[in-house]
Structure 1
Amino acid sequence: MSQTKIPQFQLPALNGTTLTLSPTAKYLGVEIDAKLFWKINIEKRINKAYMAFYTCKRIVSNWGLKPSIIMWMYTAVIRPILTYGALVWWPALNKQYNIRKLNGIQKAACAGVTGAIRSCPTDALNVILHQLPIDFFIQKTAAIAAIRIEELGGWNQQNHGHSVILNKLTINKSDYILPKLDFNRHFQVRIPSRREWRRGSFAEEGTTSVYTDGSKMDCGVGTGVFSADLGISLSIRLPNSASIFQAEVLGIEKACEVLLENHGNIHKATIFTDSQAALLPLSSPMTNSSIVHNCKRALSSIKDKLQLNLIWVPGYRNIFGNEKADELAKAGAFLNESEAELIPSPLGTIKGEINRQFQQIANNRWKNITKCVITKQLWPTYDRKRTNDLLNRSRKSIYRITATTTGHWPFGENASKMGMPYNDICRGCGVVGNKETIFHFLCECPALAQIRHKTLGIHQAPNLEWISTKSISDISSFIETSK
């Protein structure tokens, strides 16, 4: 077999000038290089993020915004600039060089919130401010984008490249569908006011009434359907991942099935539900949920058989049909999960699950990290409530708590590493052999025993892990009272 020689590529010419190839191309704001290294794209992302950061910083210095607002500026304005187009370039995070560059902007933002000094580790600031490490956050953003595109049918799953992002996670099928428009509504939706309900019932004479309800409890999720006119009482179990909204919509769909089975003797029917959240999407021409779409189809299938109305009923108002539907929904939540009717999970639930899985990965990294010894003892895990307590304090208080928690401030041995004056002996007690350390300061300095007892409830703490069980308010009181 003869070999075919591939001719050398000839560059095109324009007006007698030979065109040259560019090493990069910009498509939808993403810089693509010839070898897909994404280095140039990441540098452009970082430069834009720094520009936004320093613009926000000037606002902060002029207006003196609260630390919580500064944190919001980073998460809502700066970080989205970093993650733009992450779905295609996240594999570049396999190189530590790129992660270090991206870490720089997150550390600068965290330092702006806490006032931490330059030597403070990024990992410590991440856990204190409840921020996912930037490489995990970018992967999480890419995974959420991939889920959305997959449900729209535009995702090509491969075992290499950027498309392996979903292989890293355990995710249920999403309820999200390509938005559909339908202006042909064959049923009436009415949401009376509570005042109208106080005047009397909306159950008309000669109309078959069906009541539906949903319930989400610790034990599970259930749907109830009740009709005294038809002698129907249904309890349905849903997967634990289902939302209360899905339970309410599914109840309306099951009510339609009940009416279809008994439509021979019915000319007019009303479905009552105490969920306005379920009625509004059903009355909207736009649908992006598969369970809402299926419910609309069930409602439309009744149009040639009977006249149908959907009416909102106020909950917990001693309306017999609604109370019975509520009881049936709660009974459904207690049914065995193996009996659950399989439905896809809401997109919001899947996003929450993706976030939970990446949060667990971040926690595992934090537990296995070998540095940040003091912070690991005083802030052993990501804790959003503890972070919110911190951010609601003054700048000075946040700085003091962060400095104490990380050990990075002009204090004892750390001061010597910073080239600043320091003391070998604790300035509080002055006892020879008592070095000025975070452990000595927080746990055992005898000069601070009374203050420690007043603020932390103990004269001497056994270790830093014990201190981590105390509230941010108690720790702040001890630091400020000790001067």
Structure 2
Amino acid sequence: MVRLEGTYTAESKTQCGTPQGSPLSPILYVLYLAELLNQDRSLRFGYADDIAIYRASKSVESNVTMLKRDVRQVMRWGAENKVAFAPEKLEMIHLSRKRNTNAPSIRVSPELTITPVTAVGDEQPALRWLGVWIDRKPSFKRHVAERSTKALKVARHIKGLAGVRFGPPAASLRKAVVTCVQSSLLYGSEVWYGGRRKPSASHGYNRNRLVSTRLGPLIEKTNKVMVLAARGVLPAWRTAPTASVLRDVGLPSGSTALEHARIRFALRLRTLDAAHPLVRRLETPILPWQRATKLRCADTLIPHAPRPVLAQPHFSPGCSRTDPTEGSTKEAAAEQFNTWWSQLSDNTITVFSDGSEQYKDGAKLVGYGYAIYRGQSLVRTGSGAINSISHVFDAEAIGALKGLQCALEIPRPLDEHIWMCIDSTSVIWCMRANASNTSQWAFLECHALIDQFKVGIRWSPGHMGIEGNETADELADAGANEGRMDDDRSAEPTISGIGTTARALADAATSDWWSRCLTGLSASYRKWGLGYSIVEPPELCLPRTLLHRLLAAPNGSWRLRAIP
């Protein structure tokens, strides 16, 4: 039966359910469950067809009373809208840090009673929500135990596939560890891992002091799984030091992997849409007596950048989806461009733009420049700098926008074209079609101007003697060195820039762990001065027997080539 406002259709039996992954599923969700969630968006939330109701008070008895009223309201709404809820799938848990174990049930009706979740044996009672096990405290000990057990089974299976002298190539086993073990082990780590230190909950002079998060036992569980998986990949004796095994296989330790996951989560927070629930939580002001949560602590790891917006797909008029180079070499394309440009009329405006990224006295400088020609005569130029937490791609996008805005101020016939001449094919792709997340605002403003005015885009190969491109390149270098920034979004960091910051933080976490481990290795090993990076070493592609002999070489002399 279908209901539309106050009209009902005749009832009919369905022949089958909605297939898994069917496009009909989100439509049904919008038609049915969205209305239920929108009745109270602060205390109800859901994912697909799973709904959660949340209440907070000073006692579990008050919570039970309020939850009973909420569940009855949901059941009443379901009866009115012909939506049935499976009683056997209803679960409940009381979250409290108090030591008492009082956990009353919810008696919704004589036929329905919701009891708190229980556990078998010594397991900790916990409720599973979207793959994360939430216990009463919540300490997430059950979650780490579940994820570690699942990943440990796969790690033991991988270890059993190969020995010191037999088995698949180490490179293949390493891919299996990264794909099956590490991803399973770290699932949901953003919820429970917030670093080894956190702000103190005490008041007074100890308020801003960092204290331990007491996550050592949980981190050690993840570390044991990663070490076992690494030993299964590498054909080394069991007496090989753990640090050297992880280094030779290019895998992170448990603590390093958790820190990397936290940094990735912090970067993701910077790229979420402004309407995302996590962003709304970050925008809520924190009171003076409140302690920063794991979410807020992760948010402080990486600088702010303009958030990308959810924009519709864009296709510039007259711009095809073909390769901007059209399959030509830079030399041939430069010759064709010069021929085309020399034949333009005196009223045609061409905008050449370029970006520059350079280092001076250890400081990073990023800037843009543009040169505007009417016919073959230079009429206007401009340059400037952008935030140093960015890249040349951002500079080229912003420079193209600034140049186009300046060109539109020049008087010209209404039917005359403006040509944007850009030497970066990546920027051209984003100008023609969908904008990238980094410097998205610049691309979106260009899209609006391109759709409003007669603007064309053409590839002008860089460093090929094209007059306008060479001029724009010199202006970009000058703009980066001058350091003058406009008072707009070009003065803010970009998504690509904070991505580099995140990678630097991950590299620093890896280096710190390796520095601590080096003190426990032998002097004969330390003298080689080996570095440590989480990438696949090329020697893992060797046959297993040969790789074992290399690893067993005295004093690790084969590692000489790895010295930075």
**TM-score where L is the length of structure 1:** 0.71
- 1:12 maps to which of 107, 123, 126: 107
What is the rounded CA distance, in whole Å, between the counterparts of 2:176 and 2:194 in structure 1? Answer: 27
Instruction: Indicate the residue corresponding to 1:141 in structure 2.
Output: 261
1:208 CA drift (Å): 0.9
What's the secondary structure of 1:51's corresponding residue?
Answer: helix
Pick one of 284, 289, 305 that aligns with 1:174.
305
Q: Assess, with a 3 A threshold, how the Cα gap between structure 1 residues 256 and 472 changes in structure 2: closer, same or farther.
A: closer
Number of aligned residues: 407
Judge conservation of contact 2:394–2:438 (CA < 8 Å) in 1. Answer: no
Q: Is this contact kept in 2: 1:222–1:247, CA < 8 A?
A: yes
Is the CA contact 2:160–2:232 (under 8 Å) kept in the aligned structure 1? no
CA drift of 1:324 comes to: 2.2
Q: Deviations over 1:193-225 (max 9, x none)?
A: 236765564433242111112233344333221
Match of 1:209 among 350, 354, 370: 350
| CA distance in structure 2 between the aligned counterparts of 1:281 and 1:31, rounded to whole angstroms | 42
Partner of 1:162: 294
Q: Encode CA deviations 1:271-297: one digit per residue, 9 max, x unaligned.
A: 11111100112222x445262333332
Alignment of 1:74-473 (within 5 A): 74-91=177-194, 94-152=214-272, 153=274, 154-155=278-279, 156-157=281-282, 159-166=291-298, 169=301, 171-183=302-314, 185=316, 188=319, 191=324, 193=326, 194=328, 198-199=335-336, 201-203=339-341, 204-205=344-345, 206-219=347-360, 220-229=365-374, 230-263=378-411, 267-284=416-433, 286-287=434-435, 289=437, 291-301=439-449, 304=452, 306-333=453-480, 335-337=481-483, 342-369=490-517, 370-374=519-523, 377-378=526-527, 380=529, 382-384=531-533, 388=537, 390-403=539-552, 442=555, 470-471=560-561
Question: Separation in 2 of the partners of 1:218 and 1:277?
Answer: 23
Which residue identity lines up with residue 137 of structure 2 in the other structure?
K
Once the two structures are TM-superposed, the CA of residue 249 in structure 1 deviates from its matched residue by 0.9
Is 2:192 the partner of 1:44? Answer: no
Aligned match of 1:424? none
1:269 and 1:91, CA in 2 relative to 1: closer, same or farther beyond 3 A?
A: closer
Cα distance in 2, alignment partners of residues 268 and 64 from structure 1 = 65
Deviation track 1:23-54 (CA, whole Å, cap 9, x = no partner) reads 31111111111111111111221222233335
Find the residue that maps to 2:236 and give its secondary structure. coil
Moved more, 214-223 or 266-275: 214-223
Pick aligned residue for 2:175 from 44, 47, 72? 72
Which structure ranks higher in relative contact order (CA pairs < 8 Å, sequence separation ≥ 6)? 1
Equivalence for 1:435: none
Change in 2 beyond 3 A, CA 1:308/1:130: same
Are residues 374 and 71 of structure 1, via their aligned partners in 2, closer, same or farther at CA, if it must alter by over 3 Å? farther
- In the aligned structure 2, how far is the partner of 1:385 from the partner of 1:107? 14
In 2, the alpha carbon distance for the partners of 1:35 and 1:166 equals 22
- Partners of 1:214 and 1:224 within 8 A in 2: yes
Pair 1:31 & 2:133 matched: yes
- CA distance in 1 between counterparts of 2:499 and 2:258 reads 14
Q: 1:127 to 1:64 in 2, by over 3 A?
A: closer
SS of residue matched to 1:115? coil
**Aligned partners of 1:294, 1:5: CA distance in 2, in Å?**
52
* Structure whose residues are more often helix by fraction: 1
Task: State the 1:10 CA deviation.
Answer: 4.8
CA separation in 1, counterparts of 2:536 and 2:558?
Answer: 13
Aligned to 2:47: none
Q: Which amino acid aligns with 1:181?
A: Q
**C-alpha offsets along residues 343-391 of structure 1, whole Å, 9 cap, x if unaligned?**
4444344233223223323423433454223476146453449973543
CA offset at residue 70 of structure 1? 2.2
Structure 2 CA distance for partners of 1:303 and 1:362, relative to 1, 3 Å? closer
In structure 2, the residue corresponding to 1:327 is in which secondary structure?
Answer: helix
Counterparts of 2:479 and 2:524, CA distance in 1 = 46
SS in 2 for 1:37: coil
Task: In structure 2, list runs of 5 or more residues that go unmatched.
Answer: 1-58, 65-103, 118-124, 197-213
For the residues of structure 2 that align with 1:385 and 1:6, how far apart are their CA atoms? 51
2-structure distance, mates of 1:272, 1:39:
58
- Aligned residue for 2:193, secondary structure, equals helix
Native 8 Å contact 1:187 1:303 kept in 2: no
Q: Which residue of 2 aligns with 1:449?
A: none
Kept in 1: contact 2:316–2:450 (CA 8 A) = no
Cα gap change, 1:379 to 1:398, in 2 (>3 Å): farther
The separation in 2 between residues aligned to 1:102 and 1:228, in whole angstroms, is 61
Indicate how the Cα distance of structure 1 residues 15 and 121 shifts in structure 2: closer, same or farther if over 3 A, else same: farther
Counterpart amino acid of 2:126? T
Cα displacement (A) at 1:123:
3.0
Structure 1 residues 118 and 17: CA distance shift in structure 2, 3 A: farther
Judge which range, 261-270 or 80-89, deviates more: 261-270
Partner SS state of residue 352, structure 2: strand
Unaligned runs of 5+ in 1: 405-440, 443-463, 474-483
Residues of 1 paired with 2:448 and 2:145: CA distance?
A: 54
